[in-house]
A and B are shown apart, each in its own frame.
Chain A
Amino acid sequence: MKRETMIWAAIMLLGAGTLIWRAAFTTNGMGREYVRAVPVGNGQWNRYDPATYDDYIRSESANPNQREYLLSIPRTICLWIAAFFTIAIFSFLYRDNPIYKIVEAIYVGLSAGYWMVIAFWDVLIPNLLGKVWPTMIQKWAMPGLSGPDAKRDFWYLIPLVLGIMLLWRMAPRGDWIARWPLAFIIGTTAGLQLVAYLHGDFLEQIRSSILPLVVNNLGAFDFWASVENLIVVVGVLSCLTYFFFSFEHTGFVGKTANVGIWFLMITFGASFGYTVMGRIALLAIRIEFLLDDWLWLIDPLHRHTR
């Protein structure tokens, strides 16, 4: 057996042993979810709200036959599945492996299905089918639909037809039919963005760049505020000079463009710093999940310890 395989086998065995010991033989254990049963709908069914281990122990101590606070087996199992998913994805950092590939495939299918379901229930039912066939939708899924919202609006046949044409893209023949809705989407996007970018990102930014180079603060000359404004104005103009490739960057234009490059390097350096900050926070929350929700090694929110 290869040395690497032996080391990994040893780590896996040690890890599994630690998990079993921690789950079964320590005072608080690990990786469990508790819920509180709340009767809903005149007691016809229960809603299960999250509860803490402490709530459960207190309830059990007061009344061992209580059924309000429970250990949730489905949520506990799913918590371990979520932890497995997390570790499976992290395993890619060592090497690509079949477990990572399977979990990645689950993610691809799950997220595509998830977005489709949301689009169906949040948009297609209320905003399309609810407008074209309001009576049917009212009888089936939205009985509260009433008033002007319950009236058929024939204008919504247009997006319905365009939507069916869009799906024609999957057909083996006649995929040119999908060009109509695609053209609508492209045209609408272009129309939306043209004005928005012109107004919000072009005109307003030029307006924001027109800054006083002599700043008076409570009647006195504010040197540093004036310097800052000057730097902003010089920075914007020099960066724009750099972006202007119709002129050769020589002489005064070249020197200004060089200053622009320095400003851009500072901008990119700042962006890098913030990007690092962003990425690390994402890792932090996953490690918090492993240490807090799963392993119960830390308990900053007082959910697991008594």
Chain B
Amino acid sequence: MRDFLEQQWWLVVIVLGSLAPLAAQFVSRGFLPTLRTLDRRWIFLLMFWAVLVPIYFVGVTGRTFPEIPGALAKATFNEIEKLHAGDPVLIAFDYDPSSEGELSPMATAFVKQCAEKKLKMYFMALWPVGSQLADATIDDVLKSDFPNLVYGQDYVNLGYKSGNEGVIKVIVTNLRELYTTDSRGTPLQDIPMMHGIQNIQQMKLVIDISAGYPGIKEWVQYAVTPFPETIHLVGGSTGVQAPQLYPYVPRQLPGLLGAIKGAAEYEKLVIDKYGGPHPNPKYLDGLRRMGPQLVAHLLIIFLIVMANILYFADKRRESRS
């Protein structure tokens, strides 16, 4: 840390310099009066530095915090781990760039584990941009690190279809009525790995990466619940949605990755098993982003504590007067 501060002195100067006017206000006007009239832009600036400085620190030093995978991350990992080579899995990309920060690390790790297990991967999307994100993950993981995998034989991107839960309702019994081609327009009958696939009940596992509606909840309601014997689901979701999905665990949803923490825990499991001694940094995005999480969380706690100090001080002042 000391070396970092010495080498990156310019960053220290910029951060402290930008906060100097705020410090001057605290000194000149007093602690509580400044807090009472604190311009919210100072809070924005504090949050900006709370995220930027750790990202820069992690980027320069390469150091990340240790992660101990929790029970849900292990359950998700094990659901995929118990599959066998050649088993078909459906991977649904139900998010867009607005949630990429939390969900892309999960998506990358899911595809990595499925590729290492030599599973047959069927990509699809319920969000319009999901298919494009699937293409990006395919480029980033499969084409880059698994060049022996062949499109159409080992993986296929079926693309996006509109209709939200209406799509799930159709594909659980008749996938080919809705999907006549893959995302590039190639007829399904020309894709070897689509031969014999009539619906998603033939998938050994459904993996959903979900940012909201439609997402894991709809997959549980329209796929898992009507067909509990044949459709098994694990998923990764954003922090906003994750607490609302806990009631489905474990009966309807055996594995759930919640927010970037879930992504980091799952990444740890995947790279420990498949990453080798020097894992590729692209599989460590979640672990890297835990640095700014820690500092920003401490900032939020600090702000809430300050706000409550102000509240109780004002309350005491009012009761005295």
On A, residues with C-beta under 8 Å from B are 49, 93-94, 114-115, 118-119, 122-123, 126-127, 130, 141-142, 144-147, 149, 188, 192-193, 196-197, 199-201, 204-205, 207-208, 267, 270-271, 274-288, 291-292, 297-302
A291-B44 contact, Cβ under 8 Å, with A196-B225, A205-B247, A277-B259: no
Any A CB within 8 A of the CB of B260: yes
Q: Are B242 and A130 in contact (CB under 8 A)?
A: no
Q: Which 5 A-B pairs have the closest CB atoms?
A: A298-B59, A278-B239, A285-B101, A200-B221, A200-B225
- For chains A and B in complex, what number of residue pairs have CB atoms within 8 angstroms? 174
CA distance A282 to B104 in the complex (A): 11
Q: With A118-B128, A277-B293, A300-B281 as given contacts, are A282 and B178 in contact (CB-CB < 8 Å)?
A: no
Knowing A270-B243, A280-B293, A291-B52 are in contact, say whether A300-B62 is a contact too (CB < 8 A).
Answer: yes
In B89-103, which residues have CB < 8 Å from any A CB?
98-102
Minimum distance in angstroms from B190 CB to a CB of chain A: 6
**Binary interface profile of B, 262-291, with partner A (CB < 8 Å = 1, else 0)?**
000000000000000000011010001100
Among B221, B239, B288, contact of A275 (Cβ-Cβ < 8 Å): B239
Residue among B41, B99, B180 making CB contact with A93, cutoff 8 Å: B41
CB distance from A35 to the nearest CB of B (A): 13
Asked if B187 and A144 sit within 8 Å, CB to CB, the answer is: yes
B126 to chain A, nearest CB (A): 12
Q: Is B252 interfacial (CB 8 A cutoff)?
A: yes
Docked Cα-Cα span, A297 to B11, in Å, equals: 11
Residues A119 and B128 in contact, CB atoms below 8 Å apart: yes
* Interface segment, one of B29-37, B67-75, B80-88, B154-162: B154-162
- For chain A, what secondary structure do more than half of its interface residues adopt (helix, strand, loop), or is it mixed? helix
Rounded to whole angstroms, the CA-CA distance of A274 and B260 in the bound complex is 10
Closest Cβ of chain B: how far from A304's Cβ, in Å? 11
**Across the interface, do A196 and B221 meet the contact criterion of CB distance under 8 Å?**
yes
Given A122-B131, A276-B297, A298-B55, decide whether A199 and B186 contact each other with a Cβ distance below 8 A. no
CB contact between B99 and one of A271, A282, A291 (< 8 Å): that residue = A282
Q: Given A122-B161, A287-B52, verify A281-B222 contact (CB < 8 Å).
A: no
Please measure, in the bound complex, the distance between the C-alpha atom of A291 and the C-alpha atom of B224, giving whole angstroms: 42
Chain B contact residues (Cβ within 8 angstroms of A): what range? Answer: 35 or more
Known: A93-B41, A283-B47, A300-B58. A119 touches B185 (CB 8 A): no
Closest B residue to A285 using CB positions = B101
Residues facing A in B125-143 (CB within 8 A) are 128-129, 131, 139
Rounded to whole Å, the gap between the CB of B61 and the closest CB of chain A is: 10
A229 to chain B, nearest CB (A): 14
Q: B224-257 toward A: CB 8 Å interface, digit per residue (1/0)?
A: 1110000000000011101110010001100000
User: Which of B51, B239, B242, B259 has the largest count of A CB atoms less than 10 A from its CB?
Assistant: B239
Q: Assuming the A-B contacts A93-B44, A122-B183, A276-B300, are A192 and B56 also in contact, with contact meaning beta carbons closer than 8 angstroms in the complex?
A: no
Most buried by B among A145, A280, A285, A292: A280
Residue contacts A-B, CB under 8 angstroms, 15 given: A122-B128, A123-B160, A126-B185, A144-B181, A192-B169, A196-B218, A196-B225, A200-B222, A200-B252, A207-B251, A275-B239, A282-B99, A283-B101, A291-B52, A300-B284
With CB as the reference atom, state the residue of chain A lying closest to B239.
A278
Interface: B296 (CB within 8 A): yes
Check if A277 sits within 8 Å of B187, measured CB to CB.
no
Measured CB to CB, the closest approach of chain B to A90, in angstroms, equals 8
